[in-house]
Amino acid sequence: MAFFDIKGLVNPLSTLKQFGNKPHTVEYPKKHKETADRYRGLHFNDLEACIGCGNCSTICMNEAIDMIHLDNIEGSEGDSGLRPRVDNGRCCWCALCVEVCPTGSLNMTKQDIFISSDADAFLWTPGVSNPEGKDILSFTSDEKTSLSLFDRVPMPEMEGEERVKSFAETMLYYTEEAAREEASRCISCSLCTEVCPDHMHIPEYINAIARGEDEDSIRIIYDNNPLGEMCGKVCTRRCEDVCALQVRGDAVAIRWLKEYAMSRAETADILKEIVNPDIQPANGKKIGIVGGGPAGLTAGYYLALKGFDVTIFEANEYAGGMVMYGIPKYRLPMDSLNKQIDYMKSIGVKIQFNTKVGKDISFDDIYKNHDAVFVGVGFQKPYNIGIDGEEANGVIPAVSLLFDVNSGKTPDLGHKVVVIGGGNVAIDGARVSRRLGSEVVIMYRRRVEDMPADWEEIEGAEVEAVDIMPQTIPIEIISDENNKVTGIKYLKAEMKADAGGGRPRPVPIEGSEAIMEVSTVIGAIGQEADYSFLSDEYMNKIEINRGRMVVNDQQQTKDPKIFAGGDAVNRTADAISAIADGYRAVKAIEKWLMK
Amino acid sequence: MREKATTLYLGPQHPGITGNMMVKLKVEGDTIQSASTHVGYLHRGFEKLMERRNWLQSFTILCRICVPEPDPNEENFARAVESIEGREVPERAKWIRAMVLELARIGTYLLWFAGQSGSAGLYTMGQWSIGDRDYILDLFEELTGGRIYHMYIWPGGVRRDLPKGFKDKVLQTMDYLEKRLVQYDKLMFDNTIFQKRAKGIGWIDPAKAIEWGVVGAPLRAAGIASDVRKDDPYEIYDKLDFELGHATTSDVWGRSQVRRFEIEQSINMVRQIMDKMPEGEYYNRIPNPMKWEVPPGEAYVKTESARGEFGFYVVSDGSNKPRRVHVKGPAYVHAVTLLEDLLKGANISDVSFIMNSLGTCPPEIER
């Protein structure tokens, strides 16, 4: 190349040709460049869909997201009432918050410009600061792209035909590997803890399982629930109904994970070694507990740990109350429950079996010989079905059937059983009847989706070939000359909207009357408490309203020395509420006696 | 009269580089007697920050290590984690990754055109190539949702599949850029003034280049054919047909020729990728990010970034956070140690010019 390379000097002048070209740039603010469909702009949060789980705040590596209270948003079950607020001065627009949002409520918009001279304006509550954002959503997550793991690890179960041959457990439960995988889905939002009557430390024990620290998990469970294994098998698990993951997928199997952790302790001795409780020295106070059900056992366990001299008076041969005698063994084997109770006995809880209060010992004796009394008698007395012919032979309340079968009897129900009711007890009655060799029909007034029973129980019944007849109202039980049940007359019903705005009501269809030939009728439409052990004096001292003992928020009745809990007190009437009552009563009794 | 030596502080803000870095110059007249480089203006401690973030959170920090070309960071980290975990990456994701890396290379070279010409006083070129780079950024915006920080390549694959119609847009942009290269040639590479500025300036001794740790375009301009994509192919580079840039002058001119050639190659590679990319999954999902623990282990992985060989050393102690992440970038060698040597005897006006030719990226030095 010569020093004066003419081409090399002229070439650059070709630039001048560009003068005629259209400019590449857009004239902002006259014209705004449209952002891409996936643009990660300012956040938008659907305040209705958001449940305030705080996962966005947890993942934010810039700590740009705070969970705050908003004036018009109230918390509820499954909604913390908090909503994310983004500090746009810290946000780096990575959109990980979008990827981990279990409900899909938090997304990013196309809005790429925000200008303000007010520094506080950059504290931005998505959905409140930009309600118009919902129309310009861009970077979103769906079930495929979301980093939430929506699919539950399947629970191995016994085959349908095998199940009805014995009372062996139908659930085969998680293996170690499956439990770790399932536990790792939890996002630790704690919405479950709020809704659990006992406020168990759910994320904590699930995290321990995910980390592979099962013994830690057991200790965490025992912090406020001494019947963890029982809950792991049969809890009504309201926690799973509010799990953040169930909005778009399957809830974490909280109940089965608890079962997994607890079943690591195979005997009461191992359990004691793991829990290794700190037992306070005896404080000289005596507590009498009426009823060895979940409420009484819980109160007894924690009171014993605190140094109280606890005696539980149990009417039956085994403790556990309705959990022992009302839940079929294919759901909760006797060994499992006895292991938990044996452990309680080993730390000093005294249980007097076969001691029915009111018959073998008077309530008055217990009241006078103890510093405080806890009553946890449960709902044992079944309601009548309330139709003609009910007094015939072969009409059995479900709880009586369950009691007999759990006590080792094998009643003959004949070839065909009809169960009336739609709750868990009805399903239990039906599935037990299948195991006793009968054909089983469940008659329920409303639709299947209205049944109060656990959906997994309903599914279990269907797998075991229980025939569910929804929208069916029994009207008369027919018996032969020996007063033996031979059939049931019923009407079909249609669902009509309730004028008062309540749930739809079943209305009988005229002319739909039919008769089904059956050998046994099992009633499962509810139970009530039996207060016959209380003398009039105590009945007057303790206020009883609509069959339930009235207590304050400390589980204390009108007689300050008497505390109460369990089904006979709370409306939810499930084991975990009973445990919660027992646990609350412990604190109250301690406060009241040790003041 | 003999002029007295004086000290000149160039920077930390100056036109030579993207980011802040200062060079302290001892000059006599306008000739540099000695130079010492000063860094630290951009130090944010990314490597340390990652030790306090979980594995997924770390992924969002990485891109900031080199602003003009964030993608090799993401790819390196993802591949290191995958290698420790043994996580499979879907085939399609590998092709998408290579496409992203090549698009990033084109974008970075365009940015480099602007810096190289701008520091020689040829500002028109900067306006052109920065403008054209924006078409690459448009593609990134459409693909990843972000123009600069893509946060797209993550362990297990890529974050989203290609959007509808993306392939055509990519090919259109490649055709456009290819035509533009002819105009770039006229304005910059065939420009006598640029040639006179570039030739013989910033000479790196080829005999010492490897010893000094020179990598990337500067090494290839010294006549040594070295490129991770060829020497140690990652992702799907062994399935692509491409040549390396080559020059023997080992000066700014040679380096610019290498880059000029490689931008053409990258355009070609993107076309091949769009042609051969298989259908299928793009992501092998990681576990719950809150509880994601990477088994104990370590990995060193490297890519060929636009600046040269770029490595990540990642150690996991089995927890949910990296135990150590060490970034081995070319800018540290090029701009901290080598530059001091190259600047001896150079003219003040060539400092930015030489820095640019080395692909200096201060944020990467300061990771």
What would the pLDDT profile of B215-249 be if each residue is shown by its tens digit? 999 999 999 999 999 999 999 999 999 999 999 99
CB–CB of A61 and B60 under 8 A?
A: yes
- Percentage of residues in chain B with pLDDT exceeding 90? 77
Is the confidence at residue B124, as pLDDT, over 80? yes
Task: Give the HSE-up count for residue B277: Cα atoms under 13 Å, Cβ half-sphere.
Answer: 22
Is the confidence at residue A300, as pLDDT, over 90? yes
Tell me the pLDDT band of A2, cut-offs 50, 70 and 90: low
* pLDDT recorded at residue A225: 95
How far off is chain A from B10, nearest CA to CA, in Å? Answer: 30
Paired tokens of A191 = 């919405």
Query: How much is the average pLDDT of A573-583?
Result: 92
Strand duo A395-397 + B322-328: pairing: unpaired
Strands (DSSP E) contained in A362-464 are: 372-375, 381-382, 395-397, 416-420, 439-443
User: What whole-number distance in Å separates Cα of residue A577 and Cα of residue A573?
Assistant: 7
How far off is chain A from B5, nearest CA to CA, in Å? Answer: 33
Window 160-189 of A, Cβ < 8 Å to B:
184-188
Q: Indicate the residue of A7, A99, A184 with minimum beta-carbon distance to B291.
A: A184
How far off is chain A from B283, nearest CA to CA, in Å? Answer: 9
| Between A13 and A204, the higher pLDDT residue | A204
From A122-126, B65-69, B83-87, B107-111, the region with the lowest mean pLDDT: B65-69
Is the confidence at residue B297, as pLDDT, over 70? yes
CB–CB of A14 and B183 under 8 A?
A: yes
* pLDDT recorded at residue A399: 92
Element (H, E) at B230: helix B228-231
Tens-place pLDDT, residues B246-295: 999 999 999 999 999 999 999 999 999 999 999 999 999 999 998 999 99
Tell me the pLDDT band of B336, cut-offs 50, 70 and 90: confident
Strands (DSSP E) contained in A48-206 are: 65-69, 82-87, 106-108, 123-124
CB–CB of A149 and B288 under 8 A?
A: yes
Residues of B in contact with A188 (CB under 8 A): 290
Residue owning tokens 């996002």: A187
CB–CB of A15 and B187 under 8 A?
A: yes
Helix (H, G, I), strand (E, B) or coil at A177: helix
Tens-place pLDDT, residues B337-358: 899 999 999 999 899 899 989 9
CB–CB of B60 and A55 under 8 A?
A: no
* pLDDT recorded at residue B279: 95
How far off is chain B from A130, nearest CA to CA, in Å? Answer: 20
First CA to last CA across chain A, in angstroms?
A: 104
Residue of A7, A24, A90, A94 to mutate, testing the B interface (most B Cβ within 10 Å of its Cβ): A94
Paired tokens of A89 = 């001065």
Paired tokens of A573 = 């009437």
Domain boundaries along the sequence of chain B: 6-357
User: What whole-number distance in Å separates Cα of residue A335 and Cα of residue A329?
Assistant: 10
Taking the Cβ of residue A1 and every Cβ of chain B, the question of whether any pair is shorter than 8 Å is answered with yes
* pLDDT recorded at residue A546: 84
Taking the Cβ of residue A594 and every Cβ of chain B, the question of whether any pair is shorter than 8 Å is answered with no
DSSP summary character for residue A20 = G
Tell me the pLDDT band of B107, cut-offs 50, 70 and 90: very high
Tens-place pLDDT, residues A345-380: 999 999 999 999 999 999 999 999 999 999 999 888
Paired tokens of A265 = 């302790």
CB–CB of A14 and B187 under 8 A?
A: yes
Query: How much is the average pLDDT of A512-537?
Result: 91
User: What whole-number distance in Å separates Cα of residue A385 and Cα of residue A310?
Assistant: 39
Taking the Cβ of residue A413 and every Cβ of chain B, the question of whether any pair is shorter than 8 Å is answered with no
Q: Indicate the residue of A35, A94, A186 with minimum beta-carbon distance to B151.
A: A94
* pLDDT recorded at residue A3: 57
CB–CB of A94 and B56 under 8 A?
A: no
Is the confidence at residue A567, as pLDDT, over 80? yes
Question: Which residues, listed in sequence order, are joined to residue A478 by a DSSP beta bridge?
Answer: A487
Paired tokens of A127 = 């959905």
Taking the Cβ of residue A7 and every Cβ of chain B, the question of whether any pair is shorter than 8 Å is answered with yes
- Homologous superfamily of domain range B6-357: Cytochrome-c3 Hydrogenase, chain B (1.10.645.10)
CB–CB of B191 and A5 under 8 A?
A: no
CB–CB of B288 and A8 under 8 A?
A: no
Tell me the pLDDT band of A4, cut-offs 50, 70 and 90: low
Tell me the pLDDT band of A85, cut-offs 50, 70 and 90: very high
* pLDDT recorded at residue B16: 61
CB–CB of A147 and B160 under 8 A?
A: no
The phi-psi region of residue A237 (left if phi > 0; otherwise alpha if psi is between -120 and 50; otherwise beta) is left
Tally A–B CB contacts below 8 A: 105
Question: Which residues, listed in sequence order, are joined to residue B313 by a DSSP beta bridge?
Answer: B300, B326
Tell me the pLDDT band of A19, cut-offs 50, 70 and 90: confident
| Domains, chain A, ordered by start | 43-136 (3.30.70.3270), 160-273 (1.10.1060.10), 279-380+529-593 (3.50.50.60), 383-527 (3.50.50.60)
